[in-house]
Amino acid sequence: MFRILVSDAISEEGLAPLLNAEHIEVVQKKVSDVEEYLDQFDALLVRSATKVTEELLAKMKSLKIVGRAGVGVDNIDVDAATKYGVVVINAPDGNTISTAEHTFAMMAALVRHIPQAHVSVKSREWNRSAFVGSELYGKHLGVIGFGRIGSEVAKRARAFGMKVHVYDPFLTKARAEKIGVEPCTLDEVLSVSDIITVHTPLTKETKGLLGPKNLAKTKKGVYLINCARGGIMDEQALVAFLENGHVAGVALDVFEQEPPGDHPLLAFDNVIVTPHLGASTVEAQLHVATQVAEEVLKFLEGKPVTSS
Ligand code: MLT
């Protein structure tokens, strides 16, 4: 008999492989509600809310595996998990399409001022001249990071008639040709793009990638989108480049601190925001939950697991 703690809101339908297994007991509760018997769980399933710290891992003495219903594992102390011999798995591709679609929705909303116009009409105004936007067609889109999500964004951009310039050290010429994008250096992407979207994980190398030095290399009037991880764009630098009018607008689904509280970026009319919704669709949540549930079940049954 194995006991699994599901400590964040994870699609019930996706958990079916675990809920239907006879030798598994699934407990869907917050960590704080099971403090007294944390040492009795063999597996832990989380989304973003639970922080899997060294302290928590130390208390979960029977823990063998942590499953993250999403791509990033930044809410899990992977080094501490390794120290305690706990395997960490994720759902590498369950939310690719949802996040790419959200990025595209943010892009369209940004250049057509949809959120601002929405608020205006709801305030009983009818100000058509205040919201003149620009077309995506023919514009240069810079994509930084060309993994699963970046390449899905690029495919959609091509369908909209955009010219796509990609910076990713791992992008091969053959793959670029197949999708119809231009492989570039980072400086080329920065200088040629009308809109730049980032699709990298947050690492030592990507933290602050769009900071003062690189933002200064972008076109005046550039639009920026971050639906990947807070911190890839340096938030203080964004404030400075919005204040001096160099950046025309920013769309953010993610922040260095979530929730961002009373962040200065929220005061700009040309900054549009969502609360980390990239993966928040019925479909993506079902896919990621099913992926981790199946893998955790395989692991507990002693079968090999696959994860990114
Ligand atoms: C991810 O890492 O896949 C997403 O940020 C997941 C989420 O929104 O929970």
Model pLDDT for residues 89-102, shown as the tens digit of each residue: 999 999 999 999 99
Q: Which amino acid is at 81?
A: A
- Provide the domain count of the chain: 2
307 domain residue, yes or no: no
CB 225 within 8 A of CB 103: yes
CB atoms within 10 A of CB 40: 15
What atom in ligand 1 is closest to the CA of residue 278?
8
Residue 24 belongs to a domain: yes
C-alpha–C-alpha distance, residues 263 and 251, integer Å: 14
- Token code pair at residue 20: 């239907």
For the CA of 94, the nearest atom of ligand 1: 3
220 lies in the same domain as 255? yes
What's the mean pLDDT in 55-78?
97
10 and 59 in a single domain? The answer is yes
Same domain, 17 and 142: no
Domain region containing 219: 96-273
For residues 192 and 261, give the distance between their C-alpha atoms in angstroms, rounded to a whole number.
34
Distance 99 CA to ligand 1 centre (A): 9
Task: Determine if the pTM surpasses 0.80.
Answer: yes
CA-nearest of 154, 214, 79 to 222 is 214
Within 6 A (CB) of ligand 1 lie: 47-48, 70-72, 95, 276, 278-279
Mean pLDDT to the nearest integer, 277-295 = 97
Distance 72 CA to ligand 1 centre (A): 6
Q: Is the pLDDT of residue 306 over 90?
A: no
Identified catalytic residue from 13, 177, 205, 258? 258
Confidence of residue 305 (pLDDT cuts 50, 70, 90): confident
The answer to whether residue 305 sits within a structural domain is no
Q: Is 14 a member of any domain? A: yes
276 is catalytic: yes
Q: Please tell me the predicted confidence (pLDDT) of residue 204.
A: 95
Q: Residue of the nearest CA to atom 8 in ligand 1?
A: 279
Residue 57 lies in a domain: yes
Q: Is 136 found in the same domain as 116?
A: yes
DSSP string, 123-173: TT---GGGG----STTPEEEEE--SHHHHHHHHHHHHTT-EEEEE-TT--H
- Same-domain pairing of 11 and 113: no
Q: Is the peptide bond before 259 cis (omega within 30 degrees of 0)?
A: yes
